[in-house]
Amino acid sequence: MAKASALGRGLGALLSEIEEAYDNELPKKGGVEEIAVSKIRPNPYQPRKHFDSESLAELAESIKTHGLLQPIVVKEDLDGYILIAGERRLRASKLAKNKTIKAIVVSVSDEQMREQALIENIQRDELNVVDLAQAYQELIDIHELTHEQLSQTVHKSRTQITNTLRLLQLSEKGRKALVEGKITAGHAKVIIGLEPNEQTMMIDSIIGQKLSVRDVESMVKKIKVPSTAQHHSNEIEELNFSALKKHLSSLGYKCGTKGYKVTIEFEDNGQIESFLDLLS
């Protein structure tokens, strides 16, 4: 609980508007500076892996017309700067062909830099659902939080956090399809728990046949039942009938086996009666 409390105290400003975060949580080295874009490296702890190209293009046009209204946050490094917050603004500025960008230089530890990147993206809803799940998991791992503690820290419901984290059980193909909008979170929820090859088959079917969530639910039920039956079938096929066949043959009965079945051939009624006497 101590770790969770420490995290909560340090996030008061980080969860608010970035300007307040500058004043309350991130120690400044100076005011707003103009820094060469070429000298800024990405944040190695950035949880966001996917950026919408259309959205970036719109932001780039806005920057061309109105300038950058909100500076980015960077940390000074040996041969330049490391981005702390504002990757969309930096990427859009590059698209706008800007050589420099407004930035605030701060002094933070690597741990603070990591938390800032995670929390900024979570609170601003800038992450797709898969990146969000990975960000949640990273915060849980860093601070050894329960889902309930994380819920209180980032102000999201525990159910939302738990359901989002379950998406990490998707195969790599499933995560990619979800991020690209080829399947919905509803589809993803249904196929979680299937084997990777089964997930692949279902994803291809969803995309190719435009299946609804209800369609997928029905198909998944059919996949799970036969797989259980096949498992039992495999066990039965391993039954050893050799001793039984040998004994019946010694008594004069013709028999054969197939799978879990034994077939006995009778020559006449007398042989049937003798067989019944044998059983009794």
Residues forming the active site = 87
CA atoms of 160 and 122, how far apart (whole Å): 13
DSSP H helices in the chain = 2-10, 18-24, 53-66, 87-95, 110-123, 129-143, 147-154, 158-166, 172-179, 185-191, 196-209, 213-237, 242-250, 269-279
Q: Phi/psi of residue 63, each to 5°? A: -65, -40
C-alpha separations of 46 from 1, 117, 128, 185 in Å? 26, 6, 13, 23
**Helix or strand or coil: residue 247?**
helix
The residues, any chain, with a CB within 8 Å of residue 139's CB and separated by 6 or more, are 7, 115, 118, 119, 145, 150, 153, 154
Q: Phi/psi of residue 278, each to 5°? A: -60, -40
Q: Where are the beta strands (DSSP E) in 27-109?
A: 28-36, 40-41, 72-77, 80-85, 100-106
How far is the first Cα of the chain from the last one, in angstroms, to the nearest whole number? Answer: 72
Q: Which residues pair with 76 in a beta bridge?
A: 81
C-alpha separations of 232 from 132, 229, 238 in Å? 40, 5, 10
Q: Are 194 and 227 in contact (CB under 8 A)?
A: no
CA atoms of 202 and 220, how far apart (whole Å): 8
